[in-house]
Amino acid sequence: MKIPVRVASVIINSLKGGVVPRIGLPYITVGRKSEINALLYDARIMEDGGSAFRFVVGKYGSGKSFLLQCYRNFLMDRGFAVADADLSPERRLTGTRGQGLSTYRELMRSLAVKTRPEGNALPLILDRWIVAVKNEVTASLPDSTAEKEINDAVESAVRDRALALCDMVHGFDFARLLVLYYRSFVNDDAELKGRILKWFRGEYNLKSEVKSELGVNIIITDDDWYDYIKLFAMFFAGAGYTGFVILIDELVNIYKIPQTVTRQANYEKILTMYNDVLQGKAHRLGIIMCGTPQCVEDTRRGVYSYEALRSRLSEGRFSDENRRDMLAPVIKLEPLTPEELLILSEKLSEIHAVLFAYEPRLTRSDLELFIRTEFGRVGADTHITPREVIRDLIELLDIMMQHPESTSESLLSDGSFAFAADSSDTGEENEFAEFSI
């Protein structure tokens, strides 16, 4: 395998630490054909001006986060703006202490495009939009036009395009700040530009503060942050991007909320977002939420405890384990097959050898024995996850590299070798990022 050592290092270290690598995903992607095709269908819908909403459901370690990261990279390559956030006790969809606004701030911090994949892409998007408008206006004016006249014409064009958003909730103030951002761009006013970006990111807490600094009397709050997500989706589309997709992971943190009223308020927010997308009230917007089967299907505390969502999301009577409707709102991840896990093991074995500069010692027969041993654990036929298999494989590769006298046969037959425990028996609720599809 030809892979840069830097990328190999990120892959192995991330997987060993239980997180999804941000780079190098194509080197380790296997399986999940039907799930990927379903998400690609959503991408085509958004490219045509529509919107999409999906739940991706799978148990801890099944590959939800990895699937999201692969999809994130694909979307950026297709010209989408993408933002992702993990929910937590401090980040929810709504709350009494600004937890919904915290989620919005995290989404804006992680906002990424192809040319800024690491996040914080909002300034880049705004600057490029202004430059594109200026180039278009300048091309339509005579060469002898004075600079002031050009700037006035560009500002007029910026205002016209911004005012196209005024039909949406909070669109007028959003448009005013876009025009103000253009003026800060032209005048090279870094301080004013920073204040406007601060407003767009939802970092103002007091209306009096934003009134004195920007001249507007509105701030983004816990109650209306989703309205601005819809505004940004329309703005990004007008700025030349295919659409805007937000990826929200760790729905289990809503499931864990002890107060019924607060939990139901979050599910009501999900319902609002779901209805907007499917009824066509949001345009060029994609939303994907990820959680475990329990946090979605539990009728006492999960998403299905909110009857309006349960009636919309639950499976029909024609679906079963052998026939799933992949166009339904909920995508349930199926376990990877032993053959797919074998292919993944081969890839990781090669990457490990590249990283530590040695000739691979594990043959295909050794890896087949490893997979058989993994599936030989009690309950592994129904509970084994890619996380467990990868953790064991990397441990095996590390030990064999550090102890050249060891063989795979001796390690796999040794009862003291620390195989991953069956996660279904641990009762753990902390979901690490998954890493294989």
Which pLDDT band holds residue 104 (cuts at 50, 70, 90)?
very high
**CA dihedral defined by 407, 412, 418, 423, rounded to 10 degrees?**
140
Rounded CA separation 244/81 (Å): 5
pLDDT for res 271:
96
CB neighbours of residue 76 within 10 Å = 21
Assign 322 to helix, strand or coil: coil
pLDDT for res 436:
34
Structure tokens at 320: 């079963």
CA distances from 416 to 411, 412, 413, 419 (A): 8, 9, 9, 9
Q: Summarize the confidence of residues 422-426 as an average pLDDT.
A: 39
CB neighbours of residue 97 within 10 Å = 10
Comparing 424 with 124, the larger pLDDT belongs to 124
Task: Tell the burial category of 77 from Cβ atoms under 10 Å away from its Cβ (0-12, 13-18, 19+).
Answer: exposed
Which pLDDT band holds residue 319 (cuts at 50, 70, 90)?
low
* φ, ψ of residue 202 in degrees (nearest 5): 75, 30
pLDDT for res 437:
31
Query: Does 26 score more than 90 pLDDT?
Result: no
Which residues, other chains included, contact 412 with Cβ-Cβ below 8 Å and sequence gap of 6+?
Answer: 369, 370, 373, 396
Q: Are strands 81-86 and 244-249 parallel, antiparallel or unpaired?
A: parallel
Q: Which helix (H) or strand (E) holds 44?
A: helix 33-47
Residue bearing tokens 């890493």? 435
Query: Does 155 score more than 70 pLDDT?
Result: yes
Q: Are 99 and 222 in contact (CB under 8 A)?
A: yes
What is the percent of the chain with per-residue pLDDT over 90, rounded to a whole number?
A: 50
Query: Does 191 score more than 50 pLDDT?
Result: yes
Rounded CA separation 112/144 (Å): 39
Task: Tell the burial category of 150 from Cβ atoms under 10 Å away from its Cβ (0-12, 13-18, 19+).
Answer: middle
The CA-based angle 194-197-200, given to 5 degrees, is 155
What pTM was estimated for this model as a whole?
0.83
pLDDT for res 87:
95
Task: Tell the burial category of 12 from Cβ atoms under 10 Å away from its Cβ (0-12, 13-18, 19+).
Answer: buried
What letter does residue 121 receive in the DSSP assignment?
A: -
Q: Are strands 81-86 and 52-57 parallel, antiparallel or unpaired?
A: unpaired
Q: Summarize the confidence of residues 327-347 as an average pLDDT.
A: 86
Q: What is the rounded radius of gyration, in angstroms, for the C-alpha atoms of the chain?
A: 25
Which residues, other chains included, contact 354 with Cβ-Cβ below 8 Å and sequence gap of 6+?
Answer: 1, 3, 5, 8
Q: Mind listing the pLDDT tens digit for each residue in 265-313? A: 999 999 999 999 999 888 899 999 999 999 999 999 999 999 999 999 8
Query: Does 182 score more than 50 pLDDT?
Result: yes
Query: Does 52 score more than 70 pLDDT?
Result: yes
Q: Summarize the confidence of residues 118-132 as an average pLDDT.
A: 94
Rounded CA separation 346/56 (Å): 27
* φ, ψ of residue 229 in degrees (nearest 5): -60, -45
pLDDT for res 414:
61
What letter does residue 289 receive in the DSSP assignment?
A: E
Mean of all residue pLDDT scores within the chain: 86
